[in-house]
Amino acid sequence: MLQLRPNCECCDKDLPPDSTEAMICSFECTFCRGCAIGVLQGMCPNCGGELVRRPVRPQGKLARNPASSERVLKPGGCRHVA
């Protein structure tokens, strides 16, 4: 099951479970759309994997399968790869 992390690892933007702005890699490194498309250019800075839009978990399922509340943030944020 997806963890549904609550924030962007780059800029710490909130990404609630119903956000359509959340992008993840296969390891669930989680980023906002702006960072994923902008600075990261569609590639996860941690594992080099592809970033795709995180599916939204239906509200009714969140009670039994709650989203992660553990914030993950990259030290120093994400930098432009020249």
State the minimum distance, in angstroms, from the CB of residue 33 to Zn ion: 8
Q: Which stretch binds Zn ion (CB under 5 A): 15-23, 43-51, 55-63, 64-72?
A: 43-51
CA-based nearest residue to 81, from 32, 48, 54, 52: 48
37 is a contact residue toward Zn ion (CB under 5 A): no
Q: What is the largest CA-CA distance in the chain?
A: 44
Report the alpha-carbon angle 53-55-61, nearest 5: 160
Q: Rule CB under 5 A: which residues touch Zn ion?
A: 8, 10-11, 13, 25, 27, 29, 32, 35, 44, 46-47, 49
